[in-house]
Amino acid sequence: MHGLDPALERESLSGVVLVEGVSDQGAVEALAERYGRDLDAEGISVVAMGGAQAIGSFLAQYPRPLERLLAHV
């Protein structure tokens, strides 16, 4: 990843869905639309990481979403 992902800088962000690539991102967004969900309005961002191997660097760069997730476990 290069720099901060603008999707993760939004103050109103309530959730992040991490997916492997852009085709997965499109599939999740299409499924949400099919079920009448407006992810933008709900503050949910679908982020394509550029491959499953990127999860480690994603979590290292963006610990805050992980902390929020773990706080609810």
DSSP string across 5-55: -GGGT-TT--EEEEESSHHHHHHHHHHHHHTT--TTTTTEEEEE-SSGGGH
Domain boundaries, the chain: 10-71
- Tell whether the model's pLDDT for residue 43 goes beyond 80: yes
Average pLDDT of the residues in 3-31: 77
Residue type, 65: P
CA gap 2, 23 in Å, rounded: 20
List pLDDT tens digits, range 24-42: 999 999 999 999 999 988 8
CA gap 40, 49 in Å, rounded: 18
Provide the percentage of residues in the chain whose pLDDT is more than 90: 26
* pLDDT value of position 16: 78
List pLDDT tens digits, range 56-70: 877 776 656 556 555
